Every structure is written in C-alpha cells, then in structure tokens.
Amino acid sequence: MFNFTDVIDRMGHDSIAADAAGAISGGSLGPVDAVVREGFDVIPMWVADMGFATAPSVLRAMRERLEHPCFGYFEYPQEYYDRIAWWHERRNGVVGLEPENIGYENGVLGGVANALAVLCSCGDKVLVHAPTYTGFTNTLKNAGYDLVTSWLQRDAEGVWRMDYEDMERKLATREIHAAILCSPHNPTGHVWERWELERAMGLFRKYDVYVISDEIWSDIVLGGSVHIPTQSVSDDARMRTVALYAPSKTFNLAGLIGSYRVVYNPWFRDRLAKQASLSHYNMQNVLSMHALLGAYSDEGAAWVDELREVLGRNAWIASEFFEGIAGIDFARPQGTYMLFLDCGGWCAAHGMDIDELLRSGVEVGVLWQDGRPFGGEKTIRINLALPTTRLREALERLAAYVFVR
C-alpha cells in the first residue's frame, strides 16, 4: 500500500498550486480581488498538479543517481528506450516500439510547438476541440497560428463526443493541415472509444490532415475505461500522427520536465528531430531521465494502479455531490483527475454571476479554477487529485458556504 492520505498539507515548497495569492492575482481562480477568509486554510484544486508525493520508486531512482557525485554530459542508455517501450506495451498494448520512434521533448507543449513548426506556416489554421486545454490555446496563439475550434457535444447519456459533421465542414473549407487531439480529453475527462478515434482519423485521412495527439493523461483512466493510443487505430493513423507523452501528470513530476514523442513515419520523425534540435535547448537533464526509469517500473505500475483507485473514488464522491445541486451540469470523468462544471443554470437560478461564484469558493479556501479560458461562459474546472479526506472537507465547505441547500 502507498500513501495517498496526507501529502497535500506539505505542498507549499515551490508549489504554485498552494500559492493562493499568486493564483488569485494571476486570474487563474477568477476575480483577482478574491481573498481567502481568516480561519480557512487553502485546499488547492485548480492547476493540474497532484496533492500526492510521487511514487517511492521514483525517489529511489533519483537518490541512487545522486549517490554518484558527477553530473556531466550524458547519453540516453538503452534502458531509457526499453522502459518506455515496456511501459507502453504493458499499459496500452503497444508492441514493436523501437528507439528510433522515440524522441525527447522539453514538455508536451514544446512537442506541440515543434510539430506545428514542421507541419504549418505561421498563420495557418489548426483544428482543436472545444472545450480546449488552455495550454494549446496559448501555444498556438503565441506561435501565430489560427485556431479553428470544433465544439464537443453532449450525447443523450451526457457524454462528450466529437461533432464529426462540424469537423468535416471545417476540414473541407478552411485549408487545415494539422489538428490537435487531446486523449484522454482535458478538461472534460472523456476517454475516447476506439470507434470515435477511428471516425476522426478517417476524416483526417480524407482531408490529409496530420495529427498531434497529446496523450499525457493516458495513464489516468477511471472506472474501467481504456485508453486507446491514436496511432493504434489504423495503419494510416500510425503514419500521420505524433503522440506526446510524459510521466509528469501520472507521477507528479511536472517540475522536473521530461516528455517524449512517439512517431513512426520516417519523414515526420526526421523533421521533428531536426526541429527539436534547432533551439539547442531541447535536452533532458539526468535526474529527469532517472525519474522516468523509476516511474516506468513494476513498482511504479503498482503505484499507478492504486492511484487510479483513489482518483476513481474521488471522482465518484465529487460527482455525487455536484449531481445533487440543481443547475450544475457536467459529465462524470472517465479519465484525467479534472472535473469540468457548467454552472450556468445555478448562477441564473440564484442571480449570481460566475465571478461571484468563483469568489465565494475561494473565500473559504477552495482554490478552484476559472473554466472560461477552457470554454463556456459560466464554467469551473476542479482538480480532484488530493487526499479523499481533504476532498470531502472542500465539498463540505462548498455545501455550507456556497451551495447552501
């Protein structure tokens, strides 16, 4: 058994998640004039960072490397590639992943930027789904690309799905050569089924669109959901997709930096490698590499299995709570550890705007995230990756001071 019970109370060191003042002033929590009232401690539930210590196998691997006192230039050992291939075979059923298919990236968003630089010219249009992860929005706008959004739609069961007719209209008329797919989807928490990916990739094949598949959440699937690697759904998908991964979301390692790409198409692979090299800065550090080796291990896999049980329980608890509040609409998350709430009905019924709602939560120490940058006028994104006792405490505060019944 691993410890998923008390770490959030020790997050403060270097953690932006626990920095209430910085999160408020930066606008991430909504109104910048919000203040945590006296008597309430902070419960971080905004940025996609976990309130759990990383796996013991990760710390052990880093400590063992620190026992050697030299930190000079280094090459990736064969073990680095072997562990990644082993992890993808064990977790996702991927076979035949070779070292030449794997390339390092300084973060998934850096990988997105590099892939777009290969596929597009400045000002080109890129298809993204909405609600949209703000990292995609900021990266594309900063690099001068034009976002074309296709809104996901809720089906009869309330599940978020791609609007294939809308996608095809835009692919047929907007001169789009690249698309970004988030799998599992952030912020909605949907885990794409095989038929969904097959249909989407069929459209991308029809209109000759290359795909950048952000699969950083692939290890965090809940309640029996299964992650399907985008490249696995067809031979064509394998050749027109770059998939981006990292142990950071799974093992709480974002501060170490260390992502990687998987690409099978030799043309695409060679150009991505060249583009990634141009900054002369897209290089891994030795401790990040050893952290990955510790993560992608038998013990790391067992840790993830237990983590998913904790996150699944938290998702159930939070869903039961918000389903009991009239005017709050959402889909139960199938993956990630984020919950995306549409609060429009509740705000209308109570004569409150979304800034007031966000502020009222922050006032009692619940640091939830303004969802508007992701999509929707009255939305909130909530991070559920914290000890269950603290999640219950946060929900109790919301029930007593915000959603008073």
- Whether the predicted pLDDT of 147 surpasses 90: yes
pLDDT, tens digit (0-9, with 9 covering 90-100), for 314-334 = 999 999 999 999 999 999 999
Task: Give yes or no: residues 287 and 310 share one domain.
Answer: no
Greater model confidence, 277 or 7? 277
- Whether the predicted pLDDT of 9 surpasses 80: no
- Report the pLDDT value the prediction gives residue 2, as an integer from 0 to 100: 83
**How open is the CA angle 166-200-141, to the nearest 5 degrees?**
65
Mean pLDDT for 226-241 is 98
Domain assignment present for residue 55? The answer is no
Task: Give yes or no: residues 160 and 249 share one domain.
Answer: yes
- Whether the predicted pLDDT of 208 surpasses 70: yes
d(CA 234, CA 239): 9
Domain assignment present for residue 85? The answer is yes
- Report the pLDDT value the prediction gives residue 5, as an integer from 0 to 100: 84
C-alpha distances in Å from residue 142, one per residue of 109, 148, 258: 12, 15, 22
Whose CA is closest to 383, among 28, 6, 26, 3? 28
- Whether the predicted pLDDT of 152 surpasses 90: yes
Domain assignment present for residue 26? The answer is yes
d(CA 402, CA 1): 36
Task: Give yes or no: residues 142 and 213 share one domain.
Answer: yes
Task: Give yes or no: residues 169 and 317 share one domain.
Answer: no
CB neighbourhood size of 272 (10 A)? 22
CA gyration radius for the chain?
21
pLDDT, tens digit (0-9, with 9 covering 90-100), for 268-319 = 999 999 999 999 999 999 999 999 999 999 999 999 999 999 999 999 999 9
Whose CA is closest to 55, among 222, 217, 216, 253? 253
Task: Give yes or no: residues 278 and 331 share one domain.
Answer: no
Domain closes at, from 265, 296, 327: 296
- Report the pLDDT value the prediction gives residue 8, as an integer from 0 to 100: 59
Q: Please state at what angle helix 56-66 crosses helix 286-295, rounded to 10 degrees.
A: 140
Domain assignment present for residue 14? The answer is no
Neighbouring-strand partners of residue 242: 212, 263
- The tokens describing 21, both together, are 């003042």
Task: Give yes or no: residues 291 and 307 share one domain.
Answer: no
**DSSP secondary-structure letter at 9?**
G
Mean pLDDT for 387-405 is 94
State which amino acid sits at residue 77. P
Cβ(264)–Cβ(238) below 8 Å: yes
d(CA 307, CA 297): 15
Domain extent, residue 373, equals 20-50+300-402
| pLDDT band at 3; cut points 50, 70, 90 | confident
d(CA 390, CA 71): 39
CB neighbourhood size of 34 (10 A)? 20
d(CA 204, CA 196): 13
Task: Give yes or no: residues 286 and 309 share one domain.
Answer: no
- Report the pLDDT value the prediction gives residue 12, as an integer from 0 to 100: 67
d(CA 61, CA 54): 12
Task: Return the CATH number at 313.
Answer: 3.90.1150.10
Domain closes at, from 296, 328, 359: 296
Task: Give yes or no: residues 309 and 240 share one domain.
Answer: no
Which residue's entry shows tokens 């210590």? 53
Task: List, in order, residues 6 or more apart from 301 with CB less than 8 Å away.
Answer: 87, 90, 91
Mean pLDDT for 196-216 is 98
Helices and strands, number each (H, E), in the chain: 15, 13
Task: Give yes or no: residues 141 and 276 share one domain.
Answer: yes
pLDDT, tens digit (0-9, with 9 covering 90-100), for 55-75 = 999 999 999 999 999 999 999
For the chain, the average pLDDT equals 96
Mean pLDDT for 87-91 is 97
Domain assignment present for residue 6? The answer is no
Domain assignment present for residue 2? The answer is no
- Report the pLDDT value the prediction gives residue 285, as an integer from 0 to 100: 94
- The tokens describing 8, both together, are 């959030």
Task: Give yes or no: residues 287 and 312 share one domain.
Answer: no
CB neighbourhood size of 10 (10 A)? 11
- Report the pLDDT value the prediction gives residue 350, as an integer from 0 to 100: 96
**DSSP secondary-structure letter at 116?**
H
Task: Give yes or no: residues 77 and 174 share one domain.
Answer: yes
- The tokens describing 299, both together, are 């013990």
- Report the pLDDT value the prediction gives residue 405, as an integer from 0 to 100: 61
- Whether the predicted pLDDT of 237 surpasses 80: yes
Domain assignment present for residue 135? The answer is yes
| pLDDT band at 13; cut points 50, 70, 90 | confident
Mean pLDDT for 397-403 is 97
**How open is the CA angle 10-355-136, to the nearest 5 degrees?**
70
- The tokens describing 222, both together, are 């809940």
Which residue's entry shows tokens 């705007």? 353
Whose CA is closest to 86, among 94, 78, 74? 94
Number of domains comprising the chain: 2
- Whether the predicted pLDDT of 10 surpasses 70: no
Total residues belonging to the chain: 405
Task: Give yes or no: residues 273 and 327 share one domain.
Answer: no
Domain closes at, from 242, 276, 296: 296
Domain assignment present for residue 60? The answer is no
7-16, 40-49, 199-208, 371-380, range with the lowest pLDDT: 7-16
C-alpha distances in Å from residue 175, one per residue of 59, 67, 148, 271: 48, 54, 10, 22
